[in-house]
Structure 1
Amino acid sequence: MTSLSTHVLDAVTGTPAAGIALEVTADGKPVATGVTDADGRARLAEDLAPGTYRLRFATGDWFAGAGRETFHPEVVVAFAVTPGRAHLHVPLLLSPFAYSTYRGS
């Protein structure tokens, strides 16, 4: 089984993005939820079976809570869990009008 974590950084302020709501789904069904901590990090799941998942970041709510405009009401990252991988890390670099992500370590 595979564990999953994330780390979100606000590219505009250069600080961790604390308080972003997260949801992991598979086949449209919830698998795990969480919220980024003060360091912008969250551990979301410890037992993901091989398959395709989606990690949803509630970026619109987070920006609205900070009184900032954004183009993206949410960011959804689809990823595959393959056999033999003990851990997946999905970082998100976020700004109001752009984002990037990659498979971290």
Structure 2
Amino acid sequence: MSTLSCHVLDTSQGQPATGIPVELYRFGETTLLAKGVTNADGRCRFDELELAPDCYCLRFLVEEYCQSQFKQVFFPLADVVFNSQAEQAHYHIPLLLSGYSYSTYRGS
């Protein structure tokens, strides 16, 4: 079993993106497995969750943040789909966000 954390960085301002709701689903399913909100450092930990090997969707609900910070919303949400494996102890998924783009990578 693996654990999960994430964070969001507002790359247009070079600062953490706070108050962004984050949801976790099994890929292709609609049952919510866990949810959280990014803190003052733009981070969210799912401490109560252990990921079994599977394919998951981490959904960042960025609409309100984009409206307040960029005064427009091009991407109302950002889905990051990833596979977990039994031998991996922890997954950390960063989201880099700006008004017209977002990207992600496998963090450490």
Which TM-score bucket, shorter chain as reference? over 0.9
Scaled by the length of structure 1, what TM-score is found? 0.93
TM-superposed CA distance for 1:66, in Å, is 3.9
Residue 31 of structure 1 is matched in structure 2 by 33
Alignment-mate amino acid for residue 54 of structure 1: C
From 73, 78, 93, the counterpart of 1:75: 78
TM-score by length of 2: 0.91
Partner of residue 40, structure 1:
42
Give the whole-Å Cα distance in 2 for the aligned partners of 1:50 and 1:68. Answer: 39
Find the aligned partners of 1:9 and 1:67 in 2 and give their Cα distance: 14
Within the candidate set 89, 94, 103, 1:86 is matched to 89
Q: SS at the partner of 1:104? A: coil
Matches of 2:68 and 2:12, distance apart in 1: 16
1:81 CA drift (Å): 0.6
- How high is the sequence identity, in percent, across the aligned residues? 46
Deviates more, 1:62-71 or 1:93-102: 62-71
Please give the alpha-carbon distance, in whole angstroms, between the structure 1 residues aligned to 2:15 and 2:77.
Answer: 19
**Count of equivalent residues:** 105
Q: What does the per-residue CA deviation read over 1:24-67, in whole Å, with 9 as the maximum and x for residues that have no partner?
A: 00132111000000000010253111101100001112222446
Q: Report 1:52-63 matches (<5 A).
A: 52-63=55-66
Structure 2, unpaired ranges of 5+: none
**Over aligned residues, Cα RMSD in angstroms?**
1.2
CA distance in 2, matches of 1:65, 1:33: 22
CA distance in structure 2 between the partners assigned to 1:90 and 1:21 by the alignment = 14
Is 1:101 aligned with 2:80?
A: no
